[in-house]
Amino acid sequence: MKEITITTQFKVFDSTTDLPFDVQNLMDQAAAVRKTAYAPYSKFRVGVALILDNGQVILGSNQENAAYPSGLCAERVAIFYAGAKYPEAKVLKMAITAASDTNETTTPIPPCGSCRQAIAEYEIKQDTPIEIYFMGEIGTIYKSESLKNLLPFMFVKKFL
């Protein structure tokens, strides 16, 4: 038997004012679009802003549906739209913020497993890491240099 160790590394920012200005702007846009989430069931709203290498900013918010799991997470709304509208563009940075209608979220909230896989597909396709910043409603922000930090064992097309 062998044992392997996998380590990941994140940068931690105490507040949005500590972020680089361009990321602060992305996070502000993510917080604004979070308010457009359709979340009558979970009462959990997520907003995403991502910037492409062509300068376009793409926004997304989660959209729920009574016919669960027909809804879609904010991360996938944004990255799928970017892929459809700008198929040749690369995603450079993604800002994610999440808030609950019932309690204040102060812990950084990462993408769910399905969103991690979707982001991984785009990161592999473009052969360039995507910087991912994520937070709750307020408080600490985590930065990952690549989706690989969040999903070290990615399912990739060579497995098919």
* Annotated active-site residue in 3, 75, 88, 131: 75
* SS3 at position 44: strand
Is 75 an annotated catalytic residue? yes
- The reply, when asked if residue 63 is annotated as ligand binding, is yes
Cβ neighbours around 154 below 10 Å, total: 16
Q: Token digits for 7?
A: 């380590």
- The reply, when asked if residue 84 is annotated as ligand binding, is no
- The reply, when asked if residue 115 is annotated as ligand binding, is yes
- The reply, when asked if residue 66 is annotated as ligand binding, is yes
Beta bridge partners of 149: none
- The reply, when asked if residue 68 is annotated as ligand binding, is yes
Q: What is the DSSP string of 62-93?
A: -B--SSTT--B-HHHHHHHHHHHH-TTPPEEE
- The reply, when asked if residue 86 is annotated as ligand binding, is no
Question: Which of 158, 150, 144 is closest to 120 using CA atoms?
Answer: 150
- The reply, when asked if residue 88 is annotated as ligand binding, is no
User: Which residues line the annotated binding site?
Assistant: 62-68, 73, 112, 115
User: Which residues line the annotated binding site for Zn(2+)?
Assistant: 73, 112, 115
- Residues classed as catalytic: 75
User: Which residues line the annotated binding site for substrate?
Assistant: 62-68
